[in-house]
Structure 1
Amino acid sequence: MDPQTLFEALADPLRRRILVFLLDEAECCVCNLHQRLNAAQPKVSRHLAVLREARLVLARREGVWMHYRIHPELPAWALRILWHMKDGMAPALPAKTCGACAA
């Protein structure tokens, strides 16, 4: 990953908020993300696709649900940037569990 790719992905406030949630969670379902972000599911999914293309997150399918996590092979310098970014942002809202994907 090059720095330009990282900073282009971080240019959007919703993508930054998604990454902050994923830093706090081992893994998060897209339905939980869109509820916590108070954003439409298609919009959240579109931003997650950008983060996947930038290799910042990994996706895992479980049935019909997609679960996302911070990419485990993210370079240390990029992970440090994400943690510093998180430190400068407002605290994340508490996790909500979606009944559909929790079942």
Structure 2
Amino acid sequence: MNQYQTYLPVIKALGDPTRLKILDMLSCGSLCACEILENVHITQSTLSYHMKMLTESGLVEAVKDGSWMRYSVNTSMTDKFIEYINGIVTESEDCICHIPTKRKELRK
């Protein structure tokens, strides 16, 4: 898989202010959907959509707790994503700018 497409779902999930707020809330610990709803002021169906985006991206884990879902940050994924972003914005020996054939691809 193309390295740029690997984290595309994560980038898309982070591209919405409501999802960023939810992720920020979850940084304090696991929350049920009802607790998230109290703080984001959206409908249950809209929350379900946002949580689907966050869980499918791998940023958030969901665990069934009775009739509710409990959500938490997937620190393994967030650590990998941070490492990936640091690799993109930091020059290294295998950086795309150091490989002549890849430079040609950039110009296309």
- Tell me if 1:74 matches 2:84: no
| TM superposition shift of 1:48 | 0.3
Determine which of 14, 19, 43 is the counterpart of 1:10: 14
Moved over 2 A (4+): 1-5, 77-80
| TM superposition shift of 1:46 | 1.0
Q: Structure 1 residues 33 and 53 mapped into 2: Cα distance closer, same or farther (>3 Å)? A: same
- Tell me if 1:52 matches 2:55: yes
| TM superposition shift of 1:2 | 3.0
- Tell me if 1:37 matches 2:40: yes
- Provide the aligned C-alpha RMSD in A: 2.1
Unaligned runs of 5+ in 2: 84-108
- Tell me if 1:20 matches 2:19: no
Unaligned runs of 5+ in 1: 81-103
TM-score by length of 1: 0.68
Q: Which residue of 1 aligns with 2:67?
A: 64
Q: Structure 1 residues 61 and 22 mapped into 2: Cα distance closer, same or farther (>3 Å)? A: same
| TM superposition shift of 1:58 | 0.5
Percent sequence identity over aligned pairs: 28
The structure with higher relative contact order (CA 8 Å, sep 6+) is: 1
Aligned length: 80
TM-score by length of 2: 0.65
